[in-house]
Amino acid sequence: MSDWSLYILECKDGSLYTGVTTDLERRLRKHNQGAGSKYTRTRRPVKLVYNELIGNELLAKKREIEVKKLSRQNKLRLIKYSVPRPKPPAR
């Protein structure tokens, strides 16, 4: 079973992008190469501003829906008041 993470990226234009993945470093690299998502392709570079280890795919996707429904202000609050987590280990 893979560990799933929810992440929030800040794009070059200041917008926020939320997604889920099992490999955060690879996914961030893909976003910055222009192959991560249609949304971030034209808003590079992006930087990771929040991540949350979820556990399994179902819970990660449910959490992604919850976070995507938050207003920008509430997403910024989530980012600001989150406890910093260590970077995932390189594979």
Give how many domains the chain has, as a whole number: 1
Integer CA distances (angstroms), 52 to 13, 19, 33, 83, 87, in order: 23, 11, 23, 10, 11
Q: Give the residue-averaged pLDDT of 30-56.
A: 95
CA 54, chain centre distance (Å) = 12
In a domain, 91, yes or no: no
Q: Rounded distance, CA 64 to CA 50, Å?
A: 12
pLDDT (0 to 100) of residue 2: 75
The mean pLDDT value of the chain amounts to 92
Q: What is the CATH number of the domain that holds 22?
A: 3.40.1440.10
The residue-averaged pLDDT of 42-52 equals: 96
Q: If you average pLDDT over residues 26-45, what whole number do you get?
A: 96
Find the Cα–Cα–Cα–Cα dihedral 20, 67, 51, 30, rounded to 10°.
Answer: 40
Residues in a beta bridge with 34: none
Please say if the pLDDT value at position 87 is more than 90: no
The domain in which residue 65 lies consists of 4-80
pLDDT at 88: 56
